[in-house]
Structure 1
């Protein structure tokens, strides 16, 4: 158990009308590059991971009688402090560029 870092986990739902393929491509290719390019991210984020829902796995989970997550994706953001994470998500450039782009693909 790491005690020298803090993490937040974010869950995402794609907008209706967006295909899984388009959502995954945007989030994995375009969004991650845009997010990682910001100076505030380079300064504060120590680790950024994505996980994308897998329809085959979700079907198998459902067929096994288990609950299937309604989310299409998740991200883990890791930083040295909670204040460092807060600095990223309250940064003006993040809000203007990254958060605005997310609105095209993510439910809020």
Structure 2
């Protein structure tokens, strides 16, 4: 069963939204994609630019929803990684301990994000509707 990891991220206060998104989807994504275990184990990697439940946060829409009493997450971006199995996700997770990964990827994340405030979810997707049809 395919496994998805979702990482929710907050930008540094010193960056504009545009600076944050441009760095995140450009230089940082390229550094991450250059990691060998990522090339081997990650089936899909996406940064989504939609509002509400998805990931590039539309702050106007979020403010409207929050004013209506909905619990809106206070993050600036999200990323999804899909892998073939939990074992593959765990193999990718082990790279966080790797000195080279820490030097390249984690240090670069400090350039644009509040890494200590990031949150991660590991999940399995179960589709109930696909292509407009109930499964």
Same fold (TM over 0.5): yes
Larger Rg: 2
1:99 to 96, 106, 109: 106
**Larger helix percent:** 1
Q: Say how many residue pairs are matched.
A: 105
Q: Which moved more, 1:79-88 or 1:37-46?
A: 79-88
Structure 2 contact 37–92 (Cα < 8 Å) conserved: no
C-alpha distance in structure 1 between counterparts of 2:82 and 2:74, whole Å = 24
Instruction: Select the residue among 40, 44, 54 that pairs with 2:37.
Output: 40
Runs of 4+ in structure 1 displaced over 6 angstroms? none
- Report matched runs for 1:1-108 at 5 Å: 3=1, 5-50=2-47, 51-80=55-84, 81=87, 82-107=89-114, 108=116
- Provide the aligned C-alpha RMSD in A: 1.8
Note the residue ranges of structure 2 that are not aligned, 5 or more in a row.
48-54, 117-135
Change (3 A) 1:79 1:92: farther
Aligned 8 A contact 1:41 1:88 in 2:
no
